Structure 1
Amino acid sequence: MKVLIIDHDEASAAVARKRLSQEHIEVLCAHDGQDGLTMAAATKPDLILLDVSLPRVSGFDVCRRLKSQPDLAAIPIIFLASADDADERARGLELGAVDYIAKPFDDVELEARVKATLRTKHFADMLSEYAEVDPLTDLPNRRAMARQLRKEWACLRRKGPPFSFILLDLDHFQAIIDRHGHIAADRVLKEVARVISSQCRRLDTLSRYNGQEFAILLPNETVASGNRVAERCRQAIEQMSLHLKDGDIHVTASLGVADTTGAESLQGLIEMADRSLHEAKAAGRNTVRCANYPLAA
């Protein structure tokens, strides 16, 4: 586990660092608010110990900025505050801190409170992870995809690179359920997940989006490269064959692709991909259609 201490009092930070390091906790230190914000963004600690009285940027402002950033908002914060200032402590809790430790602090109490908060954070992370995993395919689920999309969109708004989004729907999947049953249909979904995964890069996000629908987020890619990935996925699925006692199962997929070019919002991007998916189905299925991208001659 990793703890970031943001405290202008270097002697106090050194005491805390020594105590926590003895418990095999990785400790990082920053001595003003701006450096603390930079270090938090770069290291994503499991816990932040935050002094209220900081130079340049106050502890309260640091807390407010951390809680405003989606990728940092879940990091628990313990304020280091004056023992006799109840208003100060209350303000910190209202801003989202989970606890406070009075300064000058007792190092035994510090260790106990840090350990308790890290345990809570560990269990919360486990629950969050389970809540974002599809139990059948072990892929990220729709909730996880939505979180990753928001993260990529936020990066794009800070003049980051474009990204593309693919929606994939298995053709006539209900017919597979009707003929072979739900157990066989589940085997199809797991095999499709494996096949699509083999066509994705490690930095891509593949999710089971809804029933027989999958979604792929491709960072740093335009609709043209998204089209190529989608076509590879389509071909790989078409070549699949699942052997059962009552016969082999073959499946195809329709795919819709869009990128952030021309998308005024994240919802707009998703709707563009969805319209492209419906166009692929209307064109006879087992094909790829892309928003704002000409069909090959």
Structure 2
Amino acid sequence: MSDMVHQSVLIVDDSPDIHQLVGARLRSERVNLIHAHDAAEGFRLAASEKPDLILLDLDMPITDGMTLCRQLKAEQELSDIPVIFLTGTMDVQTKVQAFELGAVDYVTKPFDAVELKARVRAALRTKRYHDLLTTKAQIDALTGLWNRGYLNDRLAVEMSVLERKGLPVAVAMVDIDHFKPINDTYGHPFGDAVIQRIAEVLGNMSRDSDVVCRYGGEEFAIILRDTPSEGAMTVAERMRKAVETLQLTCGKTPVPVTVSIGVAGSDRVGNATDSGTHLLEAADRALYRVKEAGRNRVGGITP
């Protein structure tokens, strides 16, 4: 049972009796139950709570389960949530349609307690393994930060949030100044140690809402959620100062290390909602100008 700790299940059904019944059947399971009584509430809670599994009633008024499932699978940040349909009857054609939409299973009402538990356990176990494998594949081995693949996926999600809710997002591109001479002079193992220390500083200086990634080589990228350009510049400057104060030595030789940071916010970049590529490119242009101006500083995009 330990593989189900902290996992959550969203029940979307218009019948209060079904909510009570599912709750009773799963009472012995170590899961957090979330309740929605129509499709609109179900979609809202799926987006806000990101459950590990959705038990979805097929026959609901206004918006049925098939339609809601299609809506969920169309959203990148929700598409990986497994869906088990709840239904009174399910003919072969409906089953085929459900699986084509991306459902992982179905349970027929009235529920057999043992069957419901078994199907929920199986779906949650698969979700846990999927999450572990996905996370491992998206972590940079040297620094322990998220990698570039995760950056692209997460930025796409933030662009979707920006488009739907208007919440600003910014990107900071961080480059270690004069890194090649450091590698050439002190060796690649020391260069790796420099990258690791700076990664640690960026991680410690970031907020819980920020996403810090190793972009590649001596470059890092940071997604600053719900942050306009001015706020992102302030965060970036704190990070720059923190790196500047690092006291690194190779043997007994002090090795000063600094970074240059380019910042771009959605409030100052045109067509930012089209793709995260616009923000990344704008931040990269800002970084280039900072390096041209002398390095060890922060620069942004002018309105």
TM-score, normalisation: structure 2 = 0.89
Cα distance in 1 for residues equivalent to 2:244 and 2:49:
43
Cα distance in 1 for residues equivalent to 2:89 and 2:165:
44
Cα distance in 1 for residues equivalent to 2:68 and 2:23:
20
8 Å Cα contact 1:169/1:214 also seen in 2: yes
Aligned to 2:113: 107
Aligned to 1:16: 22
Cα distance in 2 for residues equivalent to 1:122 and 1:157:
30
8 Å Cα contact 1:19/1:107 also seen in 2: yes
> How far does residue 101 in structure 1 lie from its aligned partner after superposition?
1.9
Aligned positions, number: 293
Residue 292 and residue 112 in structure 1: after superposition, are their counterparts in 2 closer, same or farther (change >3 A)?
Answer: same
> What secondary structure sits across from 1:186 in the alignment?
helix
8 Å Cα contact 1:21/1:27 also seen in 2: no
Deviates more, 1:4-13 or 1:104-113: 4-13
Deviates more, 1:43-52 or 1:136-145: 136-145
Deviates more, 1:169-178 or 1:282-291: 282-291
Structure 1 runs not aligned, ≥5 long: none
Aligned to 2:59: 53
Q: CA RMSD for the aligned pairs?
A: 2.0
Query: Residue 193 of structure 2 aligns to which amino acid in structure 1?
Result: R
Aligned to 1:92: 98
The 5 A counterparts of 1:174-193 are 174-193=180-199
Aligned to 2:298: 288
Cα distance in 1 for residues equivalent to 2:9 and 2:133:
21
Cα distance in 2 for residues equivalent to 1:105 and 1:211:
54
Structure 2 runs not aligned, ≥5 long: 1-6
The 5 A counterparts of 1:23-38 are 23-38=29-44
8 Å Cα contact 1:34/1:56 also seen in 2: no
Query: Residue 262 of structure 1 aligns to which amino acid in structure 2?
Result: V
Residue 288 and residue 34 in structure 1: after superposition, are their counterparts in 2 closer, same or farther (change >3 A)?
Answer: closer
Cα distance in 2 for residues equivalent to 1:235 and 1:29:
47
**Of 270, 287, 290, the match for 1:263:** 270
Query: Residue 290 of structure 2 aligns to which amino acid in structure 1?
Result: A
> What secondary structure sits across from 2:205 in the alignment?
coil
Aligned to 2:157: 151
**Of 213, 216, 238, the match for 1:207:** 213
8 Å Cα contact 1:15/1:107 also seen in 2: no
8 Å Cα contact 1:81/1:88 also seen in 2: no
Residue 282 and residue 47 in structure 1: after superposition, are their counterparts in 2 closer, same or farther (change >3 A)?
Answer: same
Query: Residue 263 of structure 1 aligns to which amino acid in structure 2?
Result: G
> How far does residue 233 in structure 1 lie from its aligned partner after superposition?
2.4
Residue 36 and residue 227 in structure 1: after superposition, are their counterparts in 2 closer, same or farther (change >3 A)?
Answer: closer
Deviates more, 1:113-122 or 1:157-166: 157-166
Query: Residue 213 of structure 2 aligns to which amino acid in structure 1?
Result: S
Residue 79 and residue 216 in structure 1: after superposition, are their counterparts in 2 closer, same or farther (change >3 A)?
Answer: same
The 5 A counterparts of 1:113-192 are 113-192=119-198
Query: Residue 146 of structure 1 aligns to which amino acid in structure 2?
Result: N
The 5 A counterparts of 1:192-231 are 192-231=198-237
Query: Residue 236 of structure 1 aligns to which amino acid in structure 2?
Result: A
> What secondary structure sits across from 1:14 in the alignment?
helix
Identity %: 41
Cα distance in 2 for residues equivalent to 1:137 and 1:282:
27
Cα distance in 1 for residues equivalent to 2:37 and 2:103:
19
> How far does residue 246 in structure 1 lie from its aligned partner after superposition?
5.9
Query: Residue 21 of structure 1 aligns to which amino acid in structure 2?
Result: R
> How far does residue 120 in structure 1 lie from its aligned partner after superposition?
0.5
**Of 23, 42, 49, the match for 1:43:** 49
The 5 A counterparts of 1:68-79 are 68-79=74-85
> How far does residue 47 in structure 1 lie from its aligned partner after superposition?
0.7
Aligned to 1:279: 289
Deviates more, 1:79-88 or 1:53-62: 79-88
